[in-house]
Amino acid sequence: MVVLPLPIIIHPVTLFFIIFFAFSALAKAERYSVLSYGAKPDGKTDSTKAFAAAWSRACASTKPAMIYVPQGRFYLGQVRFQGPCMNHAILLRIDGTLVAPSDYKVIGNAKNWLLFEHVNGVTVSGGTLDGQGAGLWSCKNSGKGCPSGATSLEFSNSNNIAISGLASLNSQLFHIVINGCQNVKMQGVKVSAAGNSPNTDGLHVQSSTGVTILNSRIGTGDDCVSIGPGTSNLWIENVACGPGHGISIGSLGKESPEAGVQNVTVKTTTFTGTQNGLRIKSWGRPSNGFARHILFQHAVMNNVQNPIVIDQNYCPGEKNCPG
């Protein structure tokens, strides 16, 4: 039996003060425009150092800080937004588009394009991430030796994170990864990649607790949302998926000692033209991993090949299967 928490009711006056103080904090925030550090919105000039410099200033500020990215296209190599920082209120406000190198070899072995690590209280709001992953997809589909690819955006070992109104296009690998984090809220996220793009999971959550995904639209060549070992207290609501492989827990049990997945709610979802709808997949080998207290509710399936799949003998490629 799944026991759901009672809804939290906030009095309108209380909500007014929460909003008022949030806007007051933003009004007092130190503002760091990436243009001030040499970034160019022409889609060609390498603005990696400018973004890193703006982050360094914001991270070192003792006051709430806003990094501002105006309209235009900003070409970026790999950027590591490292913490811990002096303050726990940094807003990355994006009005433009961040553009990855079109040559996949530049960041193809970097694992991440944009990485936030050991940060607390960071919000990413608005904007578009253009991963330009089509070249790598073609390489992989040709069977040639290719880099594994870079995840477009990852938060690792971080707390109190918000991602709002962000669009992610054509990532080389996963679009957004939440790894080893606590208290993360994603809402109004749009993810888009071709239906035949390999390993382009939309949102991936692992080793994290207290993650909420709301009001988002995801279409990729792999899972719309993938849920890995060590995930607990995950809430997914009002998500549209398609194309893609559905919303998947796992694969689990790949390792003998493995953290489990528990307290996952997926409700009010729509799947259109997907390979799967709701899926739990585990390898056929001994493991102490588990999936428990899972609730799938109010799902609408349109032209879905496998609406509900529970696979306890998962083995992609069907070669050397352990079960």
Question: Cβ atoms within 10 A of the Cβ of 45, count?
Answer: 14
Q: Which helix (H) or strand (E) holds 60?
A: helix 48-60
What was the pLDDT predicted at 8?
37
* Cα distance between the two ends of the chain: 29
**Are 201 and 175 spatial neighbours (Cβ–Cβ below 8 Å)?**
yes
From 249, 184, 185, 195, select the one nearest 218 (Cα to Cα): 195
102-151 pLDDT, tens digit per residue, is: 999 999 999 999 999 999 999 999 999 999 999 999 999 998 889 999 99
* 317 three-class SS: helix
- The predicted model gives 9-13 an average pLDDT of 41
Give residue 179's pLDDT band: very low, low, confident or very high (50, 70, 90): very high
Tokens 């585990």 found at: 282
Q: What confidence score (pLDDT) does residue 27 get?
A: 56
Distance CA 159, CA 297 (A): 28
Residues sharing a CB contact under 8 Å with residue 180, sequence separation 6 or more, in sequence order: 156, 157, 158, 206, 207, 208
The residues with which 156 forms a beta bridge, in sequence order, are 117, 179
Domain assignment present for 22:
no
Domain residues for the domain of 188 are 32-311
Asked if residue 323 is part of any domain, the answer here is no
Position 44, amino acid: K
pLDDT 10s digits, 310-323: 999 999 888 889 87
Task: Mark 78-94 as b/e (b = at least 16 C-beta within 10 Å).
Answer: bbebebebebebbbbbb
Domain of 133: which CATH number? 2.160.20.10
In a domain, 20, yes or no: no
Decide: 246 and 276 in contact? Cβ < 8 Å. yes
Report yes or no on 127 lying in a domain: yes
**What is the band of 26 on the pLDDT scale with cuts at 50, 70, 90?**
low
Asked if 118 is an active-site residue, the reply is no
> Each residue of 189-241: pLDDT tens digit?
999 999 999 999 999 999 999 999 999 999 999 999 999 999 999 999 999 99
- Beta-bridge partner residues of 275: none
Say if 47 falls within a structural domain.
Answer: yes
Q: Residue 12's pLDDT is what?
A: 41
pLDDT interval class at 10 (50, 70, 90): very low
Residue 307: asked if its preceding bond is cis (omega within 30°), the reply is no
Number of domains present in the structure of the chain? 1
Say if 21 falls within a structural domain: no
Answer whether residue 321 is part of any domain: no
Options 11, 118, 204, 245, the catalytic residue: 245
With respect to residue 319, please indicate whether it lies within any of the assigned structural domains.
no
